[in-house]
Amino acid sequence: MFWLILLVVCFLGIDLFLGIRFFEYVYSAHIRHQPPLVQANKILRCAVINYINANYKNVKNICEIGSGFGTLARAMAKKTGATVWALENMPFAAFVSKFMDLFCRGYNKTIWCDAFDWMDNTNMVFDIAVAYLGPELTAKIPRYKNKIHVLISIDFEIKNMKPRHIIDMGRGATIYMGKKYPHRIFIYELNHK
Ligand SMILES: C[S@@+](CC[C@H](N)C(=O)[O-])C[C@H]1O[C@@H](n2cnc3c(N)ncnc32)[C@H](O)[C@@H]1O
């Protein structure tokens, strides 16, 4: 009997998680018209982390603009040793990310906020900002060049800005607003030390 109750509770928990996640996805994409939660896959996450470790060895603090469940943010905190500020505006995603921070072997701090309002109001300066957003929101990030030294953008390039480096993953793509963006990582030095 105990196991049956446990099984039913687990199923209900999973259903609830998937239901809220689906609701937030639809709300993000169709009501707020912002990039919905799509996680960067493991290959992209490893490529971002390897690039940071190879090129910016003394990185102290990183922010992720639009961090979803914080999978990439926590991996960066663990594998680069930097303090990571994960900025996410969807409440359920931020809640899950905050909960998972408790188990993070690194220092990842999730903040539930509109990332752009937060950046407007913070006095912090970040060695690196990472973003996996759509083209319109990514294009807004260079305005924070006094607060961000290096921007790493997954899949979305900024028009009229020359990246320091482009890593072409060679396969896979993000489909955003019906358009296909091949998996590439764009590195911009906005204001490198
Ligand atoms: C494509 S997902 C990337 C998630 C995460 N970077 C990952 O790879 O797992 C984009 C995320 O940005 C969030 N987002 C979009 N606009 C935002 C904003 N103005 N402020 C904070 N988060 C935002 C969305 O809710 C979504 O979770």
- Ligand 1 contacts (CB < 6 A) are 28, 34-35, 37-40, 64, 66-68, 71-72, 87-90, 93, 114-116, 132-133, 137
Closest CA to 98 of 86, 108, 110, 90: 110
The angle subtended at Cα 145 by Cα 133 and Cα 75, nearest 5°, is 50
Contact 107, 80 (CB under 8 A): no
Domain assignments of the chain as residue spans, ordered by start: 1-33, 38-189
Q: Is the pLDDT of residue 192 over 80?
A: no
Q: Is the pLDDT of residue 193 over 70?
A: no
The angle subtended at Cα 138 by Cα 58 and Cα 64, nearest 5°, is 40
Residue with the bigger pLDDT between 36 and 44: it is: 44
Cα 24 to ligand 1 centroid, rounded to whole Å: 11
Contact 38, 24 (CB under 8 A): no
The pLDDT of 48-53, averaged and rounded, is 97
Q: What are the tens digits of pLDDT across the range 99-140?
A: 999 999 889 999 999 999 999 999 999 999 999 999 999 999
- 38-189 CATH pick, 3.30.450.20, 3.10.180.10, 3.40.50.2300, 3.40.50.150: 3.40.50.150
Pocket test for ligand 1, best of 132, 153, 181, 183 (most atoms within 8 A of CB): 132
Q: What is the pTM of this model?
A: 0.92
Distances (CA, A) of 129 to 18, 66, 146, 156, 170: 29, 10, 12, 14, 23
